[in-house]
Amino acid sequence: MTTNQTDRESLETDAITLCQEMIRIPSVNHGDGKGDEKAMADYVVGKLAEVGIKATVYESAPGRCNVVARILGVDESRSGLVVHGHLDVVPANADDWSVDPFGGEIRDGMIWGRGALDMKNMDAMMLAVVRKWARSGYKPPRTIVLVFFADEEAGSLYGSRWMVKEHPEVFTGCNEAISEVGGFSVTVGAGTRLYFVEAAQKGIHWMKLTANGRAGHGSMVNNENAITALSHAVAKIGSHEWPQRYTKTVQILFEKMAAVTGKTYDPSDLRPLLKEFGTTVRMIGATLQNTANPTLLEAGYKANVIPQTASAIIDGRFLPGYEDELNATIRELVGPDIDIETVTRDIALEVDFQGELVEAMCAAILTEDPEGVPVPYMMSGGTDNKALSDLGIVGFGFSPLKLPANLDFASLFHGVDERVPVDGLKFGVHVLENFLQNS
């Protein structure tokens, strides 16, 4: 076995072990400030310390920990690159899973567990690469600011948002960033692998709708029933057909899809091409329009009492440039008598899929998969790149994975039996290292 082969296998082994061990640390974020990343932060600090890398913990509240390490580059006059992940995961009900969600078990060629995809796989790849460098004395061409944020799964108030506000000096000199949910393969057509690099994100507007009515006895006629009024409003939102709005990122993606599948590209209506996206069809379909989904309802306290108020939560997501349209449409649908209150609001992002950083991402993918086709896509959700954009940092989603053609990747995020292919992780850590060495 050559030295290069040994180095490759050592890097792969470290990434796999790190991913398993981090899954076994249940850094669950329950929302509403109820989270604890301290054990994960201690683990990351320890793994960096093993190879002589000093890391700093920034605690935004008891147990809410962010970890930062600065890897100095050869040319310190160049702008730095933020490479970031998050330490928290969403809850998992063990009764629903076929394995222990915090066991980090390898089965059927997969690492299983909560966070396997979102996003302890990327955390592991980040750690594995810089640990390898530290052991060999390698310095990247530019300075890398390695960041592991808290609270990404509940709005980032204790994580990236807090860091940007309270410790912007951490990011001084950085103008670009990479993070989760990008660089993964989607097999289309006759077997072509497209690698989706996230270049855009929808914005978020979670709203609370409140209907006020007249309380009374459940046996009496009541034409001012708050539940009835709210139900009508929620039904209108849930059944609304939103107009198609195609951003530049979406247009590039669909044009490329038409080219590799031999299908017709009609820029006036992209929906006929949706079926070509396989398991990602619902995720990609959501990027063709604004969306608003009712997610929570609250009303009443007894079977025979008509309550005075009723409320609902709406998860609104808007395309870059179409926030006002979302808000105006919701107001029109619910009418003037329903109160609308903002619960959470965050920006949409869209950046050009060009430049040296993009070229380095594409080249790194093609080095490991010469037949791959890197393309930009819009994420229907959001990442910590939103917070970093407040500092003028341009971010992409790039946590590379080569995935089996039949794996329903999108459904595993926050889903039951979340898992990541071992071979995909091996592929990803080499692509990540190649990118960081050439960006």
pLDDT digits (tens, 9 = 90+) for 82-119: 999 999 999 999 999 999 999 999 999 999 999 999 99
282: helix, strand or coil: helix
pLDDT at residue 1 greater than cutoff 60: no
| CATH number, domain containing residue 27 | 3.40.630.10
Residue pLDDT, tens place only, 284-320? 999 999 999 999 999 999 999 999 999 999 999 999 9
In terms of domains, do 92 and 68 share one? yes
Query: Does 159 map to a domain?
Result: yes
Instruction: Name the pLDDT band for 251 (thresholds 50, 70, 90).
Output: very high
In terms of domains, do 123 and 156 share one? yes
Residue 276 region by backbone torsions, left for phi larger than 0, else alpha for psi between -120 and 50, else beta? alpha
Q: What is the mean pLDDT of the chain?
A: 96
Instruction: Work out the average pLDDT over 228-234.
Output: 97
Q: Contact at 8 Å (CB) between 392 and 364?
A: no
Residue 398 CA to residue 412 CA, distance in Å, equals: 18
| Helix ranges, 335-376 (H) | 356-368
Instruction: Name the pLDDT band for 261 (thresholds 50, 70, 90).
Output: very high
Instruction: Work out the average pLDDT over 332-355.
Output: 96
pLDDT at residue 259 greater than cutoff 70: yes
In terms of domains, do 212 and 315 share one? yes
What is the domain extent for residue 240?
200-346
CB-based contacts of 30: which residues, under 8 Å, 6+ apart? 91, 154
| CATH number, domain containing residue 207 | 3.30.70.360
pTM of the model: 0.93
Q: CB-based burial of residue 134 (10 Å sphere; 0-12 exposed, 13-18 middle, 19+ buried)?
A: middle
In terms of domains, do 41 and 170 share one? yes
Domain boundary among 324, 346, 368: 346
CA–centroid distance for 246 within its chain:
21
Instruction: Work out the average pLDDT over 192-220.
Output: 96
Instruction: Work out the average pLDDT over 170-197.
Output: 96
Closest CA to 399 of 178, 152, 97: 178
Query: Does 194 map to a domain?
Result: no
In terms of domains, do 18 and 160 share one? yes
Q: Which two tokens stand for residue 197?
A: 């690099």
Give pLDDT, residue 427.
Answer: 98
In terms of domains, do 31 and 176 share one? yes
pLDDT at residue 403 greater than cutoff 70: yes
Give pLDDT, residue 2.
Answer: 61
pLDDT at residue 65 greater than cutoff 60: yes
Domain boundary among 295, 320, 346: 346
In terms of domains, do 158 and 275 share one? no
Looking at the structure of the chain, the number of domains it has is 2
Give the rounded percent of residues in the chain with a pLDDT score beyond 90.
94
In terms of domains, do 166 and 98 share one? yes
Q: What would the DSSP string read from start to end of 399-434?
A: --B---TT--HHHHTTSTT-EEEHHHHHHHHHHHHH
Query: Does 195 map to a domain?
Result: no
In terms of domains, do 67 and 168 share one? yes
**Number of Cβ atoms within 10 Å of the Cβ of 85:** 27
In terms of domains, do 205 and 98 share one? no
Query: Does 306 map to a domain?
Result: yes
Residue pLDDT, tens place only, 377-395? 999 989 999 999 999 999 9
Give pLDDT, residue 212.
Answer: 97
Residue pLDDT, tens place only, 129-142? 999 999 999 999 99
In terms of domains, do 237 and 174 share one? no
Domain boundary among 346, 371, 390: 346
- Give the pairing type, strands 373-379 and 192-201: parallel
Give pLDDT, residue 273.
Answer: 97
Query: Does 378 map to a domain?
Result: yes
Residue 46 CA to residue 127 CA, distance in Å, equals: 11
ω before 119 within 30° of 0 (cis)? yes
In terms of domains, do 336 and 217 share one? yes
Instruction: Name the pLDDT band for 3 (thresholds 50, 70, 90).
Output: low
